[in-house]
Structure 1
C-alpha cells in the first residue's frame, strides 16, 4: 500500500527511473483507482460493531480473500513497475535480451503486456469482492472484521493453558522429586527469601520461558515443610492469558478455605479476601500471569501488616515480573545444564534404574538436543520409556526430537505456543521470521533488524529511527523469553541472539499454518525436485533455501512472486550462467541474501528493482556499487576477493547501511546530502573525497581507512558528524603516516577503534575528554611510544578497553583514570612490563583478559586478582587466551 501511494501521490523526484518512465505515466490513473479501491476495502473492515457467533466462518473467509487480493494487487503493480523500468531504462544488451525472452508461453505476450492485463484483472477482482460483500447483509460484513478477530482470540483463550497447571499444587511426593531436578539451589534461594527477616510484604517473581519449570519450582516451594510451618495460610491461583477479576478473587478465596456465590459483587469479594488475610502471615502463589493489569486487579487484596507475608508470581514476561515485584526480587530461572538434563532424562525414563552403558552416549546426545528445557526432557523421556531400550531406536529419537515434541499428545508445543499467541501482530511476524534461520544459529541483532526493516515488519516510529524501533522489538522478544541472548558487545549491548530448538519448532509449525515462509533443501542423492514440489514452493512469498533450489524453480519455467530469498548454506563456486539465469523468475524480490554463495559478478541482479536488502559474495576484480535501479535499497552488504568497490550514491538515496570487507572508493556524485545513510564501512578517505563526510551528516557508524594524502589535506576532522556513535579508523595498505593535524572527534562518540596509525601517546588527551566514550580499542600500532601516562584525566564513561599489538613498555595508570571500567583486554603487547596494579581497585572491574605471550603481563594480572581476593573481592574474573580462541579461566 505504501508503494502504491507513492506511485500515485508523490512526485518521486529522487527516482528518475519512475519519474521519467512513459509506461508508468500512462497507467498512473489506473494505479490510482486501484489504490483507492483497495484503501476503501481495507479501511472499511475496521469498523467496530457486534458480531454473531454463526457469522464467524463467513467473516473469516472474506478476510482471507481480502488479504489474498491485497497481495495480488501489490505483486501485479510491482511486476508492472519492474517491466516498465527494464524495458525503458536498461541499455545493457544482455538485460534487454533476457527481457525479450520473458514471454508468457500460453498467450505469447511480453512481460509488460502481461502486467498491464494483470492490473485490469486485479481491479476487476476488487470490484467483485466489494459487490459480493455489499450484497451480503447490506454490507454489515465490513463492520465485523475486527470483532471477528477479537472473538477468535477469546474463543482460543477459553481453552486455557497447559493441563499441567491444574494440578500443580497436588503433585505427589514421588512425582515432585522427579520433576524438580536442577531446582534445588533455586528453591533454597527462594525459600530463604520467603522465610527471611523482612517484615514488609515482599513480592517475589519467577521469570522464564514456557516449559522451563516455573510452576514446578513454585510447587516445590509451596509444598516445602519449612514454608508450610512458617506461614499461617497458603493460597494458589492460576491466571492464564484470558481471565476475569471475579474468577481470580473466587479462586483466591477458595484456595484459603473461603467460598462465596458468584452473585456477590467484586468489591465485596475484595473486602472479604482482604479481611481473611488481615493480621496473619500468608503466602500466595499467583501462577502464569500475563499482564500488569491482572496483577493490579488483585494486589489491593493483599494487606501489609509488617509480619513477613509473601506473594510469589510466575510469568514469562519481564515487564510483568518487574511491575509485580515493585523493585523487589525477580528470579530468572535458568535452563538446566547438561548434567542436570541427563539426570532428569534418566529419572523419567528408567524410574530409578540405571541407564545401560550402551545407551549412555546416545542418551546424553538426546538430552543435549532438548537444550536444558525440562518440559522437552519430560516429553522425550516419555517416548523413550514406552519404547524398546535399543541403541538404533534411541538414535532415531535423537534425530527427531522436534517431531516427538510436535506429536506429543499432551500438547507440549501448544504450551510453548502460548507465548507466540500472546504477541502483538507486528512481533508475531518478527518472531516467526527468526525460525527461518539455521538451527542453533547465533543471529546478529543488527542484521536481523535490517531484514525486518526490508520486510516491512517495523512500523515507522515518530520519535526514533527504524533501527532503534527494531532494537526495541528485539528486547521485547527477549523480555518475553522468546529469544535468548547469545553474545553481548563490549559495552554490554545485545550483540547476537538465538532461538531455543523447541521455540524454533513453534515458528516452523506456525509459519506453515499461516503460509508465512517455506524452508526447502535439495533432496539427496539425486538433488532434483519434481514439478509438484517446485509449484508448491513457488506459492510461498518467503523462501529459506539453498541456491540450487532457485535454479530448479527457473528450470521448471515457473514465474515466482517471491518477496524474500535467503540462502544460508555454503555453496561451491558456481558457473556464471547459473548465477544469473534464475533472476527473471524473481523480479519482485525485496530481500536477497546470497552471502555464502561465491559469484563472479551480479549484473543481472540489476533487474531486481524492488530490492531493499541485498547481501552478495563477489569473486572478481574491482566491482561497482553504482546500481542504477537501487532506489529502494536500504541495506547493501558485499564481501569478496576484489581489491576495491566503487560507490556512487546518486541512485541509492534510500540506502541506510553499506558494509564491505574491502576498500570502498567513492566517486563524484550530484546528491548534496545523503540523509538516510547511517552505516558505511570501509570507506577510503583521500584528497579526492575531502568533502565526502559532509554529504552524510546523519551517519552513526563509520569505518574508514586513511592514507598519507588524507592526513596532508586535513581530512581527519569528524567533528561535523554530530550523530556519529561508532568510528573505526584504519591505515590504508602499508603506507607510513605522519599526521599534519590532530584527529578531531564528535562528542557523541561511544565506540572508537584505531589501528595502524602510529599516533604519539600525547594524542590520547583528546580521546580522554570524549564525554560519552564507552568502548576504546587500540590495535596494531595505533599508538607508538614506550610510555603511556594518562595523568589525572578520566575516561568518564569507558567500560571496555583493549590494547593489542602495541609497542609500549610502561603504562602508568590508576583507578582514577578509569572509574567505570568493566573489562580490560591486553594481548600481543610483548614489551609491556606490567598492567598497573592499581587498576584492581576499580570497583566496577569484572574481567581482565590477556594471553600467554608476555609473562610480565600474566604475572601482574595474577597479582591483581590475588590482592583483590585478600581484600574479600572475588568478583574479578581473569582469562588467558590461547591460539584459535581457546582460553583458560580463573
Structure 2
C-alpha cells in the first residue's frame, strides 16, 4: 500500500543521512529519535490494519493522511539536502563560504512531528480493527464465484489425472493441492471432479467447503460435519473435532477445501481427518504455491497453467456461440479479443459471456476490442477484478508496494527480475530485515509474489532462480487501478491527469503524445520517479526531487532518447539513473550525487569517470552498456580512504588497470565485466588481481590484444560461479583450463575463441565438479575431446558447441550423465552430429520424452542419407 511505502521510504532517507560517512546535512538527534518512534508505530499499525475501503473505489482517508504526512517530511528533509549540496558546490567553485540556515529545517521537521503525533493518537485509540469490506460476507462472495460454471475446456487431461489420483487404489490418505493464479480454473477443476459420477460412486462421503479469508474454524468444522452426517449439534471446537473424527473413521471420504489462504486453517483441521487406510482424499485449491508445498511433496501438486491458444479459442467459441459455428467475418477480430485474455479462463469466460449478449457485427466487436479492459473490469460489478483483488488484499503490507510497482512496466513486457529488484531498492519501500542485504530481501519478495501466483515466471535459471517474469494483463489492470486510487504512481496518457503536481511517481507510456508529456513534465514539481518506456521526449521533469530516472532503452538511436550528462548529474537526490547519454555531452563532476545507488548509461562516447567516483559510498550497481567506462586510478591511499562496501556490480569497464588499491576500495564486488582492447604494457599483470575479489561470483573478460603470456597471469577467486572468457585466436586454452576446472563453485563456463595447441582437450579427474552449463565457441582447431571418466561433469545440464568444425565427436561419457538436458550444435562436423544423435537416444531411453532436447544442426555436406540419419530424432531449428 502507498502509506506503508511512504513510511518505509522516509525511514530510509533518515537512515541514509545517519549512516553516510559524509552526510550532506545533520538532523537533530532528538527529532530523529521522535520521528523513528512514530514511523515504527505507524508501520506496525498498517501491518495489521484491515482497511474498510479495501474493496471500495475510494482511497482510505486514514492511509492517505499517512501518505501526506510522510511525503511532507520527505519534502522538508530533501529540500534542505538539495539546497545545502548545491550551495556547497557553488561556494567551492566561487571560493565562498555560504551556508543554509538550519533553523527553518528544525522548525519544519517539528511541524511534521506534530502532525505525526495526531496520527499516532488516532491509531493508538483505534479500538476496533476494521474488518475487510469483504470480510463478513466474503464467504458468500466466494460461494457465488463457484457457481459460475465455466466450461472445462483445455483441462481435460488435468481432470483425468485428478480423477486417476482420486481413485487410483492407493489406500493411504492423500492430500492433493491444486495451485494457480486467481481465475485460472482451480475451483472449476475441483468441481468437475467432485460432481463426476465416478467420484460419487467411489467415495462414501463427499464434502465441499469454501474457505474465506476471514474464516471461522468452528463454522467450518460444523459445516463439514453437517455434510458428512446430515446434522450438527451446538458443540465447541474440541467437541466438533472429536465428532468429525468419529464420523469419518472407517469411511472412504473426499474433502474439498476450496480457496485456502493460510496454512493455519489446515493445522486446525488436519486432526479431524483420520488416516484409516481407506483411500481417502483431501483436495485443496489455493493461489499460494508455498502453502501447497507445506501440504505435500512438490511433485504431487496439481499446477494449473494458462490455456494455450487453441484451448482459449475453443472456450471462447463455445461460450459465445455454444455448438453453433463461429461466423467467418468475426473470426479474426474474435481471435484478437481472445489474445487479450492471455489464456486466463476467468477472463475468457467473462468476455465470452459479454460477447454472447452483444451485437454480432464487426464494427461493434472492434469497439469491444478497443475498450476490452475497461469493459471486463466493469462487467457484473467488477466481478473479474474482485476475484483477482482477493489476492492483492491478502498480501502482507510489505509486499503490496512491490506488487503495485509491477504495473509500471508496459503491458506484455518480459520483466528482468534483476531490474525489478534494483528499482524496488531505489524506490526505498523495502524494509530491512535483520542483517540481510536489500538485494536479498527484494529477491525473497519476488519469490513470494511468484509463490502467490501474482507474478508469472517467464524464464528460470539453471539453479531455479527467477531470471525474468511477466504479469497477466488483468493483474496489471488491478495494479493500475489500485495505484491510481492510492496515488502510488501516475500514468500520463492522452488525458493528462489532474493533481499531477503532487504525484511522486510518473510513468510515460510509449503511446503518450509529446504535448501531453511536455505538459506533465512542467507540472511534476514533487516527482521522485520518472519512468519512460520509449524515447519520446528528452527533457527531464521539472522536479528537483528526482530519485529514480528509468529512461534507458536498448535502442537509443535518435536525439529524442538521449539526455545531456550535465543535466542528469545535477539531480542531487538521485538513487537510480538509467538513461541514454547525448554523445557530445561534457562529462561533469559527480560530486552532487551523494546517494546514488544505480548508474546505467548507454553512450557511444568513451566515458572517462571523474576521480570522485571513488568517493561514492552508496554505489551498488554500475553498468555501461557500450563497454566504454574508463575508471581513473583512485586517489593515493590516505587516512580518509572511502571503502565502497556497497558496490556489488561493475559492468562495461574498458582497460581496467586493476591494482591492490582498487581491490581494497571495492572488496564486495560480486559481478564484474571488463574488456581489454589494448595491451597494458605498464601493468600487464592486472588480471592477476582478480583472485583478490573474495566475493566475486560472476566474471566476464574480453581480451582483444594478442599476448601469449596473458593466460599465465590470469588468476580467479574460488568464489567464482559464472565465467565468460573471450580471448584472441592465439590464446592457448590448455594453459588455463586446469585452473578453471579446479574452481569449486563454477557452474557456468563460456569460452570463446582461443586455440588448443595440441588439438586435444583431455579433462582431468576431479575437475568441473559443479559445472552445469558449458559453451565452447570458435576453438576451430579442437579435434579430440577426451573424457577419461563419466564423473568428470556430474552436474552438467547444458552443452553448447559452436563453430567447432574440426571436432570429431562428443565423448560418449557425456551421454551417460543423467542430468544432461540440452545439447546445441552449430557449424560442427558430421561425426559430432551423429555422436549427438547417439547421446540423445541414450537420454531418451533413460528419461523418455520428458527431456527438452533442442539440437540445432547445420551440415556442411548435403548428403541426403547423412541428413536423414543425423536429424531423425532431432528437433531441428535450421538446416543448410
Q: TM-score, normalised by structure 1?
A: 0.85
Gaps of 5+ in 2: 1-9, 636-640, 859-874
Q: Tell me the equivalent position of 1:678.
A: 648
CA deviations 1:521-560 (Å, max 9, x no partner) are 3x3xxxxx7xxx3652222111111598699557985461
Q: How many equivalent pairs are there?
A: 825
Is 1:151 the counterpart of 2:159? The answer is: no
Closer/same/farther in 2, CA of residues 697 and 344 from structure 1, 3 Å limit: same
Q: Which residue is 1:768 aligned to? A: 741
Of residues 18, 22, 44, the one that matches 1:14 is 22
**Please, which of 654, 658, 663 is the counterpart of residue 618 of structure 2?**
654
Cα distance in 1 for residues equivalent to 2:771 and 2:49: 59
Q: Report what 2:695 is aligned to.
A: 723
Q: Does 1:2 align with 2:7?
A: no
Offset of residue 829 of structure 1: 2.2
Q: Secondary structure at the match of 2:399?
A: helix
The residue that corresponds to 1:336 in the other structure is 307
The partner residue of 1:392 within 335, 353, 363 is 363
How far apart, CA to CA, are the structure 2 residues paired with 1:43 and 1:359? 58
* SS of alignment partner, residue 545 of structure 2: coil
Q: 2:3 matched to which residue of 1?
A: none
Residue ranges of structure 1 left out of the alignment (5+ in a row) = 19-23, 97-109, 134-138, 524-528
Q: Compared with structure 1, are the counterparts of its residues 811 and 252 closer, same or farther at alpha carbon in structure 2 (3 Å cutoff)?
A: same
Distance 2:192 2:817 in 1: 41
How far residue 618 of structure 1 moved from its aligned partner, in angstroms, is: 1.6
Determine if the alignment matches structure 1 residue 829 to structure 2 residue 786: no
C-alpha separation in 1, matches of 2:777 and 2:796: 17
- Report what 1:526 is aligned to: none
Of 445, 451, 454, the match for 1:482? 454
Q: Does 1:713 align with 2:685?
A: yes
Once the two structures are superposed, residues 97-153 of structure 1 have per-residue CA deviations (whole angstroms, 9 ceiling, x without a partner) of: xxxxxxxxxxxxx9979x9868756644654675x77xxxxx9634135x56x4243
Using a 3 Å threshold, how does the CA distance of structure 1 residues 332 and 439 change in structure 2: closer, same or farther?
A: same
In the alignment, is the contact (CA less than 8 A) between 1:477 and 1:483 conserved in 2? yes
Q: In structure 2, what is the equivalent of residue 809 of structure 1?
A: 783
Instruction: Find the counterpart in structure 2 of residue 860 from structure 1.
Output: 835
Query: In structure 2, what is the Cα distance between the partners aligned to 1:439 and 1:784?
Result: 52
Is 1:639 matched with 2:582?
no
- Shift of the 664–302 alpha-carbon distance from structure 1 to 2, 3 Å rule, reads same
Superposition map of 1:776-815 within 5 A: 776-781=749-754, 786-807=759-780, 808-813=782-787, 815=790
SS at match of 2:602: strand
SS at match of 2:272: coil
| Distance change in 2, residues 1:213/1:540 (3 Å) | same
The reply on whether 1:516 has 2:488 as its aligned counterpart is yes
Change (3 A) 1:327 1:271: farther
Q: Does 1:431 align with 2:403?
A: yes
Correspondence for 2:852: 877
CA contact (8 A) 1:600 1:619 kept: yes
Which residue matches 1:566? Answer: 531
Structure 1 pair 554/513, CA: closer, same or farther in 2 (3 Å)?
closer
With 187-196 and 855-864 compared, the bigger mean Cα shift is at 855-864
- Closer, same or farther: CA 663–564 of 1 in aligned 2, 3 Å: same
Output the CA distance in 2 between the equivalents of 1:40 and 1:868: 62
Aligned-partner Cα distance in 2 for 1:48–1:646: 46
Distance (Å, rounded) in 2 between the aligned partners of 1:52 and 1:651: 45
Sort the Cα spacing of 1:39 and 1:462 in 2 relative to 1 into closer, same or farther, 3 A.
Answer: closer
When residues 126 and 712 of structure 1 are mapped into structure 2, their CA distance, relative to the original with a 3 A threshold, is: closer
Following superposition of structure 1 onto structure 2, how do residues 259-658 of structure 1 map, counting pairs within 5 Å?
Answer: 259-261=231-233, 263-325=234-296, 329-409=300-380, 411-521=383-493, 523=494, 533=496, 536-545=499-508, 558=523, 560-571=525-536, 579=539, 582=540, 585-596=542-553, 598-599=561-562, 601-620=564-583, 624=587, 627-646=590-609, 648=611, 649-658=613-622
**Partners of 2:778 and 2:803 within 8 A in 1:** yes
Q: Deviations over 1:321-377 (max 9, x none)?
A: 111226672111111100000000011100211101111121112112111110000
What pairs up with 1:77-156 in 2 under 5 angstroms? 77-90=77-90, 120=107, 123-124=110-111, 127=114, 130=117, 141-145=122-126, 150-153=129-132, 155-156=133-134
C-alpha spacing 1:734/1:844, structure 2 compared with 1 (3 Å) = same
Q: 1:867, CA displacement in angstroms?
A: 4.1
The change in CA–CA distance for 1:361 and 1:75 in structure 2 (over 3 A counts) is: same
Cα deviation per residue 1:591-615 (whole Å; 9 max; x = unaligned)? 1112136326310222211111111
Contact kept, 8 Å, 2:258 with 2:285, in 1: the verdict is yes
- Cα separation, partners in 2 of 1:208 and 1:766, compared to 1, 3 Å: same
Aligned to 2:638: none
Deviation string for 1:744-798 (max 9, x for gaps)? 2222111111111523224211211211111111123386662211133342111
Which segment is superposed worse, 840-849 or 118-127? 118-127
Determine helix, strand or coil for the equivalent of 2:793: coil
TM-score by length of 2: 0.86
Q: Deviations over 1:622-667 (max 9, x none)?
A: 9748511222111111112113442642331110111112232221
1:195 equivalent in structure 2 = 167
Post-superposition shift, 1:879? 2.2
2:212–2:259 contact (8 Å) kept in structure 1: yes
Shift of the 362–784 alpha-carbon distance from structure 1 to 2, 3 Å rule, reads: farther
1:159-308 correspondence runs (5 A):
159-160=137-138, 163=141, 165-166=143-144, 168=146, 175=149, 179-261=151-233, 263-308=234-279
In structure 2, distance between residues paired with 1:406 and 1:456:
31
- In the alignment, the residues of structure 2 paired with residue 328 and residue 837 of structure 1 have an alpha-carbon distance, to the nearest angstrom, of 31
Superposition deviation, residue 728 in structure 1: 1.1
* 1:271 Cα offset (Å): 0.7
- CA RMSD, aligned part only? 3.5
Contact kept, 8 Å, 1:728 with 1:754, in 2: the verdict is yes
Deviation string for 1:395-445 (max 9, x for gaps)?
222233311221121511110111111111111000000111000011111
Structure 2 equivalent of residue 743 of structure 1: 714
